[in-house]
Structure 1
Amino acid sequence: MSALDPVAVFRMEAAECLEAIEAGLLDLTHQLDDKNLVDAVFRGLHTLKGSGAMFGFEALAAFTHHCETAFDRVRKGEVPATAELVAAVLAAQDHMRALVDQPDADHGDTGQKLLAQLQAAVGSHAGAKATVVAPEPAAAKAVPPAAKKKNNWRIRFSLPSNAMANGTNPLGLLDELRDFGECTVRANTAGIPPLSELSPTELYISWEVMLSTEHDRSAIDDVFIFVMDDMELDVVDVAAPAEVVSEVETPAATVVAAAEPVPPPAAVPPFKPVEAVPAKREAAALADGRQAKAQENVRVPAERLDELMDRVGELVIAQSRLSQLASSSADIALRSVSEEIERLSGELRDTMMVLRMVPVATLFSRFRRLVHDLARETGKVIELVTEGESTEVDKTVIERLADPLVHLVRNSIDHGLETPADRLAAGKPEAGTVTLSARQSGGEVIISIKDDGRGINRDRVRAKAESSGLIAPGQQLSDSELLQLIFAPGFSTAATITNLSGRGVGMDVVKKTVEALRGTIDIVSVPGEGSEVSLRIPLTLAIIDGLLVRVGSGRYVIPLSAVEECLELSLEEDLRSRGRSFISLRDSLVPFLRLRDLFRTGTKPDVHQKVVVISTGTERVGLVVDQIIGDHQTVIKSMSKLHHDVATFSGATILGDGSVALILDVGHLVAAGQQQEAQLRVAG
């Protein structure tokens, strides 16, 4: 197995670092006086700059240095943190991403424009601290009241043995220390082994640095911030030499001091080399500690997880075949082995499913930046609320839901939320709220986008649908059917086209993507109070629990998460219900579909048919089948391109005997049942 590309590893870590910086900046927007957030953003920028320089991303390091300098001034109190500064660094962060992804590309003058914006954000508030940043008059420089005190530091540090192999350049750290002031560096070479034992990838040298600088201890710690966890660092404040002290005293003070005995300069403790054997022992201890940390989290490429999931799926199919063979055999030993393999494969399947799960927080976090930018662009005051961020969903579902949620959030902000003036006139708070929530319900996750805006105007939706030919003038529609029209291709009620919406090319993409995930969309809207769009998505797209049924001579799988209950439908009741296709279920009428007629099996119904009641949200429909075979672990296989447009089925699976069973598309069948109910009610 080939080792990971160091540059690829850096890009992954840089992406995480940029996400942390963005999160800190967005938090800082609401708490501009929070020193901890300022420090966190500064550390993130410093880490990105240092690691970028180590891996040869010089343009990234140079650009990030300016943002780091701006936040260093904020951290020191020279300039205040402002919304303009946060916006400037957020914009600069996008350029940093581009420099990470395409370091050799021509980015034009983007960097210069962003730096000018950053300088304007910092410089516009420099006057508040003029005594700090403004140069002193020439006359004042002639006799300064007191020069700034210099600190004298003795710094001893040793890096882990694999530091250079991991991309850490000790010379870069020493250069940063030299930038602070007068610096003397001594290298300890006592730990270098004989040539026969020397490894070119290991680091055996430690360093002692004597530094005279105006900077404090925190500035020295910042130099080593990127490698602090794995290194040994000893920083001691030693007494300043007499000649350094005399330079900062006034002439009068010098005369007084001359009348008294002047003590000799404080002696600097002699440099004591670290013994070679303890150094090796310490390096081994550090290596053990790093190994323990590395075992906590392991980076695995996503495609490897997909390959492993495919193998687990094949194992589940093979185990199903083995169980079928064992059930028809009288061999007790074979049955015992089959049961043991079934248990192990089930545990392996569950473990594999957990590995593929990621929290919805990874999806929700990216919308904080989107809402921040849209608020500045539209002039609206928007608060983003997230709920249920710990809910876990299959990573493939997360990846595919990103774009649909962007469309829905932008639509809520543009069409749903009113301007601050309109909200105040309507008796609402000035700030509009967009709520992203997630919760698990059985084998599904429900992701909702809710706003407290004006709601959907039904009259405008109907007028647009009639003018577009989607419905006939005056056609009777339920409220749910009317609201679902906004997902039609090219549908938009916006009066003007903006860079946010108006072209009608977003919501139909949302519906297609959700349906491709075997999910459904529900809309609830109250005029004047807001709207809520709920996406019901399967937790996983790989292996599901299904209910295996027989219709005629064919076998089909119904996702078990959608099954509410099963009822018996006798032949007499079937004949009596023809023409209305309703069953009474606890004082409510539920429409049902005869799958035998829908699939045109050409067979006679069984004497004792069954009705499987399925649901999506609040809508229910019954499916009439000939036999319920039982629970089945279903490994989902995609349909071929030839059958891609067959809406009744969402996929296929292989049964234990090697035959193929089609997986029913619950959302499509429920919609068909509701449509049939509406037609019968109109006819009645």
Structure 2
Amino acid sequence: MMDAETQEIFRQEAEALMEALQEGLLVLKDTPDDLEVVAGVFRALHTIKGTGAMFGFSRLASFVHNFEAAFEAVRSGKAVVTPELVNVALTAYDLIAELLEGGDPDLAKDAELTAALNAATTGEAAPATAAAPAAKKDAAPAKIESWDLQFRLPQDFMEIGGNPIAMLDELREVGGDSVSVRLLTDRLPPIAQMDPRALYAGFQVTLPGTIKEGAIRDVFMFHEDQMELNLTAVHAAEAAAPAPAEAPKAAAPAAPAAPAAEPKAETAAKANKAASAAVAQLRVAADRVDLIMDRVGELVIAEARLAAIAAQLQNEALLGVVEDIQRLALGLRDSTMALRMTPLSSIMGRFRRLSHDLAETTGKTFDFIVEGEETELDKTVVEKLTDPLVHMIRNSVDHGLETPEQRAEAGKPERGLVKLSARHAGAEVIIEIIDDGRGMNEAAIRKRAIERGLMTEDSDIPRSEVLKMVLEPGFSTAEQVTALSGRGVGADVVKQAIESLNGSIDITSEPGFGTTFCLRLPLTLAIIEGLLIGVANDRYALPLLAVEQILELPEKLAKGDSATDVIELNNELVPVLRLRQVFNRTGTPAAHPKIVIVGANDTRVGLVVDEIIGTNQTVIKQLSPLHSRLKIFSGATILGDGCVALILDVIHLVTLGQEIEQRLKGNAA
């Protein structure tokens, strides 16, 4: 039995395989005839089984062996993928996940799921066929005369340290003296095109039938995902007459194998490419990456201080060294940031599974579409997004989508739509959960809000703000509690999680046409490019990606002293905030103030500042719990002279601008 640390290594390695397994099963639900996906599912199961057995997960390996057998039947054409098989396979996936997490479910589950998998691949003949594997196992020496094995390793196999001769020697150890080997040279390129480091030849090996299939495949346990392997049992009836059997066997590589060589070559090329990518990767603990990020942040601060000192001394040699350090620090920052960035695809698999389970639970038919899953965010943001997105997708299906009968009455397609999309927008990432359901009932929300004292009957609150009240703790308009929702918990969890990431939520809904939840999140929580501005004697930082324009403050606005105003820009009225008045700063205003146009939520606002100091690398430091309630600031940073500058929250500033704009429109009306 392996120690706990070794088993944890296996669990980490198994995560990617489990993700690929679940993704493959969900794809097969929609494309059951895709044999390439079937092969991928089989490879994932086979690898989990082999490595699980090696790392001491004997129960897991035994169960996955039976799981694998079901997809071997599909892969060999003896069975087909059906909705029943996919559903049972997903339940079996859950059992594997529980075993990997160290759980100890009832042993009866293993047998129950194994029988269900067998029934799903054999149909009505399940009892008779179910006995076949056992009979085959017991009577294998009598029925199988020999094994015909053909395999081709990746072309870069020897270049990365592999040894095909060692594999052949291992097969000889398994099969004994009766093993015969023949070289397959049908894919050798012309000499002028040969790479001396590449492996072009394949191998055909004949082994005695007394060997179990698993013993042969175990030789290739760690390579089967990246190679071609065909293992065929030659039965006694086929080998009864030696002379006739010799001719077909000699012809086999030329006739049956040749037509299959072309598609397999393409598959092998893809596998080789994937193998090369895997070799280039290195698994590193997340806390180590965080530690490196912290060190890089401190380096950026030290580099800024050194640059300030060099600027004061005006020493050319020192300035040259500072420029080199700045260049290296910038490159190190970008490289480390790239390590922290994670595509949303890393968590999308669980949402596809969630949609499958919701369809089964609610009886509602709908398509779940994902767009922009290649969009990258800081890993900390991605990790905290999972639960909020789960809640929102559940609500979209349970509250938003109608039943097929209700959709038909409303003149809608029977199948609903839930879409999860992501995209970059400046310094933010926008994630939207969209459904084409019944929409939100504003009247019901207002009524419930009045009952809870969140507003009064004569409150003049915009529709957008009314809809956001569903995010309040304990708020629910559901008439009955279901297994999925109705208790008023979940939406407030979403709000808290998004706000903890310095993000925001917008809700738009059209009765009868659906609802859209729009999440706006910062791209990263570590280091950003900032624009340093001066207001009175204080300095503040703005995310540079949110800055659209910097203008001289028009003379007519320079004379104003109110905290808010408006400016016409490109035939559009843009609200203006005078930060001196917003922060209640006194003193003589600057002779030539500037106005910085920043944008978020498809809205712009102008910020009147005393001076533009310049750009800098802004290392984000979180505010204390006491100061975190000041929503106008998203964090703080340390400048080169050791002073602290607060980072302005652009989203909050834009919200203030929107309120100004609404008041102006109200006054005009």
Return the letter of the residue paired with 1:133: T
The whole-number CA distance in structure 2 between the counterparts of 1:386 and 1:666 is 28
> Aligned pair 1:116/2:112, yes or no?
yes
Deviation at 1:483, TM superposition (A): 2.3
1:466–1:567 Cα change, 3 Å: farther
CA contact (8 A) 1:608 1:626 kept: yes
Matched residue, 2:650: 666
CA contact (8 A) 1:546 1:633 kept: yes
1:566-595 C-alpha deviation (Å, 9 max, x unpaired): 333367635446386333333333333332
CA contact (8 A) 1:412 1:434 kept: yes
Question: Of the candidates 647, 665, 672, which is equivalent to residue 631 of structure 2?
Answer: 647
Return the letter of the residue paired with 2:81: A
1:616-660 C-alpha deviation (Å, 9 max, x unpaired): 212333323222212121001111233232322111100010111
Deviation at 1:29, TM superposition (A): 1.0
The whole-number CA distance in structure 1 between the counterparts of 2:371 and 2:228 is 42
Matched residue, 2:52: 52
**Higher Cα Rg: structure 1 or 2?**
1
The whole-number CA distance in structure 2 between the counterparts of 1:619 and 1:246 is 76
Matched residue, 1:566: 550
Tell me the TM-score normalized by structure 2: 0.79
The whole-number CA distance in structure 1 between the counterparts of 2:557 and 2:239 is 107
> Aligned pair 1:150/2:125, yes or no?
no
Matched residue, 1:405: 389
Query: Identity percentage over the alignment?
Result: 46
Matched residue, 1:616: 600
1:281-331 C-alpha deviation (Å, 9 max, x unpaired): xxxxxxxx9998775111111111111111111111111112112222232
CA contact (8 A) 1:150 1:214 kept: no
CA contact (8 A) 1:616 1:670 kept: yes
Deviation at 1:99, TM superposition (A): 0.9
Aligned pair count reads: 600
The 5-angstrom pairing of residues 5-404 of structure 1 reads 5-102=5-102, 105-107=103-105, 109=106, 111-113=107-109, 115-120=111-116, 122-123=118-119, 126=122, 128-129=124-125, 133=129, 150-153=144-147, 210-212=207-209, 222-228=217-223, 296-404=280-388
Return the letter of the residue paired with 1:96: I
1:394–1:112 Cα change, 3 Å: same
Deviation at 1:419, TM superposition (A): 1.0
The whole-number CA distance in structure 1 between the counterparts of 2:217 and 2:421 is 39
CA contact (8 A) 2:239 2:245 kept: no
Deviation at 1:376, TM superposition (A): 0.4
1:61–1:326 Cα change, 3 Å: same
Return the letter of the residue paired with 1:10: F
SS of equivalent to 2:629 = coil
The whole-number CA distance in structure 1 between the counterparts of 2:602 and 2:439 is 21
The 5-angstrom pairing of residues 456-475 of structure 1 reads 456-475=440-459
1:336–1:682 Cα change, 3 Å: same
1:677–1:489 Cα change, 3 Å: farther
Return the letter of the residue paired with 1:119: A
Deviation at 1:226, TM superposition (A): 2.2
The whole-number CA distance in structure 2 between the counterparts of 1:541 and 1:99 is 35
1:646–1:578 Cα change, 3 Å: closer
Deviation at 1:70, TM superposition (A): 2.8
1:586–1:77 Cα change, 3 Å: closer
The whole-number CA distance in structure 2 between the counterparts of 1:39 and 1:113 is 26
Deviation at 1:372, TM superposition (A): 0.4
SS of equivalent to 1:72 = helix
SS of equivalent to 1:564 = strand
Deviates more, 1:637-646 or 1:659-668: 637-646
The whole-number CA distance in structure 1 between the counterparts of 2:449 and 2:563 is 31
Deviation at 1:71, TM superposition (A): 2.8
Matched residue, 1:635: 619
Return the letter of the residue paired with 1:211: P
The 5-angstrom pairing of residues 429-448 of structure 1 reads 429-448=413-432
Tell me the TM-score normalized by structure 1: 0.78
CA contact (8 A) 2:146 2:206 kept: no
CA contact (8 A) 1:78 1:133 kept: no
1:115–1:680 Cα change, 3 Å: farther
Structure 1 alignment gaps of length 5 or more: 137-146, 162-169, 189-207, 250-261, 267-288
CA contact (8 A) 1:416 1:531 kept: yes
